[in-house]
Amino acid sequence: MKVRILVSGCLGGAAIRFNATGVPLDSPIWQQWAEQGRLVSLCPELAVGFPVPRPPAEIVGGSAADVLDGRAEVRESTGRDVTALFRAAADRAAERAVHAGVGLAVLVDGSPTCGTTRVHDGTFTGVTVPGRGVAAEALRRHGIPVFSHRQLARAAALIAELETP
């Protein structure tokens, strides 16, 4: 059975990030996935009503797991507490992934929602630390492997493994 992939909505270039930019991917792997109809695209932040552009947001006082468990917050650079919206966005991502039956997710790294290997450190100074975004953490909790947009070859290897009879 063809493995489908949940992908960040801004991957491929849609200009929907907080600063109204996208993340173009000039990759034959990506192109092939698109042609094979594997991609299930979602922007969790837009799905819960965030506009474009929007203030940057960062996880403050803990990890994505702490946000989901009520021990840390997500704040915008303005100071606005957007924790509940980010939790809702994470829920949307997990629901979409489960409903679509995806086998994995490929998400834009560095985002407080979609990050898979690094996120900003909560100081709004451009510093990043190892960690996941809130939606990536929710997907992981649902047993869905998450890869960054810089790990397409690794994701492709997992797909090949999953599709081996």
Alpha helices in 40-114 (DSSP H): 44-47, 64-68, 83-100
Which residues from 27-46 bind ligand SF4, rule CB under 6 A? 43-45
CB of 110 to ligand SF4, least distance (A): 8
Q: Check binding of 136 to ligand SF4 (CB under 6 A).
A: no
Token pair 């599709």 in the structure block, residue: 163
Selected from 63, 83, 111, 116, the binder of ligand SF4 by CB under 6 A is 111
CB of 160 to ligand SF4, least distance (A): 25
Q: Check binding of 113 to ligand SF4 (CB under 6 A).
A: yes
State the number of CA atoms in the 13 A half-sphere of 53 facing the CB.
9
What single-letter DSSP state applies at residue 71?
S
CB 115 within 8 A of CB 132: yes
Residues that bind ligand SF4 in the complex, under the rule CB under 6 A: 8-10, 16-17, 43-45, 108, 111, 113-114
